[in-house]
Amino acid sequence: MRFVSNEITLYAATKNIYEFLYDIRLDSEVCDNLFSHMPTSYEEHVKYLDSLQGNQHNKVFICRSGCDNIGVLRLKNIDYKNGTAEIGADVHHKQRRKGLGTKIYLAAIDMCKNQMNIRKLYLHVFSFNKVAIEMYKKLGFETIVVLKEHIFKNGKYQDVIMMEMFL
Ligand SMILES: CC(C)(COP(=O)(O)OP(=O)(O)OC[C@H]1O[C@@H](n2cnc3c(N)ncnc32)[C@H](O)[C@@H]1OP(=O)(O)O)[C@@H](O)C(=O)NCCC(=O)NCCS
């Protein structure tokens, strides 16, 4: 699967790109904002990505700008019947703060709306992740609920914000 929008190409992740995805997975800012607290070995990472091949409800995409791999996009819990999906994305640390996170989301929104018939996207974000929350607000996501003390991270139960956006 390949989708081009807003100068960004989204490719379904293939084996040749697993190392780039692992690089992102190990980045400290990404780890700080992941809900899982276990460090993942490369073998577990490969196993997880392999398990998603052909999965219609959970998909991982490589995001490319020109010839550069710039980030990863995840669509989880894709519900074709109700037209909803959970979205998440990380930008490679060398590519942050250039507007690319915003462009990845805009491309993803275009693909979800016009190719996958998704009508609503939602996401979960730690309340301490001000950078991401600011970007989501600018994209048009609205806070639905604050899940109080929801996930144990950095030595305490952290609040998680759930946001959604109608496409
Ligand atoms: C969150 C993330 C995807 C944003 O990607 P990005 O390409 O850096 O974001 P953009 O350049 O498109 O910036 C979008 C907005 O985010 C905010 N922002 C981004 N980086 C920021 C920073 N270092 N400080 C403050 N605000 C920041 C700004 O509001 C910015 O809008 P502006 O350019 O009009 O000021 C990226 O920082 C990332 O991958 N972070 C680590 C993992 C993570 O937090 N993922 C999200 C988990 S829910």
Q: Mutate which of 134, 143, 159 to test ligand 1's pocket (most atoms within 8 Å of Cβ)?
A: 134
Give CA–CA dist 146/66, Å, rounded.
38
| Span 141-162, pLDDT tens digits | 999 999 999 999 989 999 999 9
Where the chain has pLDDT below 70, the residues are: 37-39
What confidence score (pLDDT) does residue 39 get?
65
Beta bridge partners of 163: 123, 143
Q: How is residue 86 annotated by DSSP?
A: E
User: How far, in Å, from the CA of 81 to the mean position of ligand 1?
Assistant: 32
Exposure of 151 by Cβ count < 10 A (0-12 exposed, 13-18 middle, 19+ buried)?
Answer: middle
Q: Which numbered atom of ligand 1 lies nearest the CA of 123?
A: 48
Give CA–CA dist 142/72, Å, rounded.
22
Q: Mutate which of 65, 72, 91, 127 to test ligand 1's pocket (most atoms within 8 Å of Cβ)?
A: 91
pTM of the model: 0.96
Which CATH number is correct for 2-119, 3.30.360.10, 3.40.50.300, 3.40.50.1820, 3.40.630.30? Answer: 3.40.630.30
Listed by start position, the domains of the chain span: 2-119
Which phi and psi (to 5°) does residue 161 adopt? -100, 135
Which phi and psi (to 5°) does residue 110 adopt? -60, -50
What confidence score (pLDDT) does residue 68 get?
94
